[in-house]
Structure 1
């Protein structure tokens, strides 16, 4: 494979994260023209063997069971074949150690899993001893957030020179670690003007969003206070599975349609018990609510919130220039 230069590597990295990213957006992120990106992508495909592939997120079965079993002498292969032939069983592994069989099985409910375990494992022929455990969550290379991302963000945030640089860093981490196609982070009060509230520097940074979108959201948020009601009023996150059809975005439907995103997640950024801003993540496709995603977004928002007080004396940045 031919050696990739720095620009090729940046383009490849963006497409590896999101193979559906438009050339225009790639160009904006790497700082070249759309024509250059188009030519580079074609060259990567034709000469470097790059492939842009599609994957499908499959919903995990409601109940999954792992069984460790020790077979009676001379029965391990018989037991393995019996269990592997059952429709509930996904995999049977022959292993060394105290338990010779590892069985992975999926069920429509926990009661089905219990019935299977009692009838076919505890009371099943050829099994001398067994233990079972339920699978709560599966972390794969494709779904895992590298554990050093937020630790690294925490370290880097300690050394930034100002609020804008801190928010830029948060935007980079959000796209790299949380898989968001776009991100917007803002400090200050995102609601109707209230003279009784204490002053706090207002700064916004974003990735992948148009300046028109950001400006209209800012104006509507100040005028109506309806776009982020739970975040603004109750410090609760809001998840929208399809922003192009959800009533929450009725007042900005045309804007959302023109921007092209479908899924949206808003998260309060707090210093202690006080909300100091919002972190908003956008996806080009419809994604489902996942507790792990919410947990990771909350961790990023909390880490950002811990660093904000250092810049509370900065003047507001009215330009809100994107990173």
Structure 2
């Protein structure tokens, strides 16, 4: 895949969108000092290049009754199980992130559950019964201090 090169204007547009994806082309144009039409074209080019993958809605899961955020390290019996396990994880609504990692775990994931009973059922009845999963380690998050997008800089 060819690396797409962005300039300062593209970087400014991306940083504004990362901070607030609801901004209109007009609002972005006013902050970057270009026309709304130019904003539209640049965003379209970055989408076509695969830099902008879409936009996401963030919600406060805890206000909807999902009080447990946890991180789970999965030890696979062998690395050949990765694709099968990753596909199964993708189908589980509790799982919101999956990473294939180096180090102690083969897979590291983030999951969100209603409460400890839901987490227990998720772990015992579904995750740990997947073929290829040797064992898991679960870390429960007590507080998310911040969650921010990776803003682009020249560095």
Report the TM-score when normalising by structure 2.
Answer: 0.53
Quickly say closer, same or farther: Cα 1:89–1:141, change in 2 above 3 A.
closer
Deviation, structure 1 residue 94: 1.0
Q: Is residue 105 of structure 2 the alignment partner of residue 104 of structure 1? A: no
User: Helix, strand or coil for the counterpart of 1:99?
Assistant: coil
User: Contact between 1:69 and 1:99, CA under 8 Å: does it hold in 2?
Assistant: yes
- Count how many residue pairs are aligned between Structure 1 and Structure 2: 100
TM-fit CA distance, 1:70: 1.3
Q: Displaced runs of 4+ in structure 1, greater than 4 A?
A: none
C-alpha displacement of 1:113: 0.9
Q: Sort the Cα spacing of 1:89 and 1:56 in 2 relative to 1 into closer, same or farther, 3 A.
A: closer
Matches within 5 A, 1:214-229: none
The answer for unaligned runs of 5 or more in structure 1 is 3-15, 17-41, 143-323
**Aligned CA distance change for structure 1 residues 56 and 119 (closer, same or farther; 3 Å):** closer
SS in 1 for 2:59: coil
Q: What root-mean-square deviation, in Å, do the aligned CA atoms of Structure 1 and Structure 2 show?
A: 3.2
**TM-aligned CA deviation for residue 124 of structure 1:** 3.0
1:140 aligns with 2:140: no
Partner of 1:70: 75
SS in 1 for 2:134: strand
Q: Distance in 1 between matches of 2:137 and 2:114?
A: 21
User: Equivalents in 2 of 1:109, 1:78: separation in Å?
Assistant: 27
Give the drift of 1:64. Answer: 1.6
Relative to structure 1, the CA distance from residue 59 to residue 50 in structure 2 (aligned partners, 3 Å threshold; closer, same or farther) is: farther
CA 49–68 in structure 1, closer or farther in 2 if over 3 Å, else same: farther
Q: Deviation at 1:140? A: 2.0
Say if 2:92 is the partner of 1:92.
Answer: no
1:1-323 maps to which residues of 2 (within 5 A)? 45=30, 48-49=33-34, 58-60=59-61, 61-73=66-78, 74-138=80-144, 139-141=146-148
- 1:101 Cα offset (Å): 0.4
**Alignment correspondent of 1:265:** none
Q: Any conservation in 2 of the 1:70–1:101 contact (CA below 8 Å)?
A: yes
Pair member with larger Rg: 1
CA distance, structure 2, for counterparts of residue 109 and residue 58 of structure 1: 17
Which structure 2 segments of 5+ residues have no match?
Answer: 1-7, 10-18, 20-26, 37-55, 150-155
Structure showing greater relative contact order (alpha-carbon pairs closer than 8 Å, 6 or more residues apart): 2
Measured in 1, the distance between the counterparts of 2:120 and 2:100 equals 23
Counterpart secondary structure, 1:69: strand
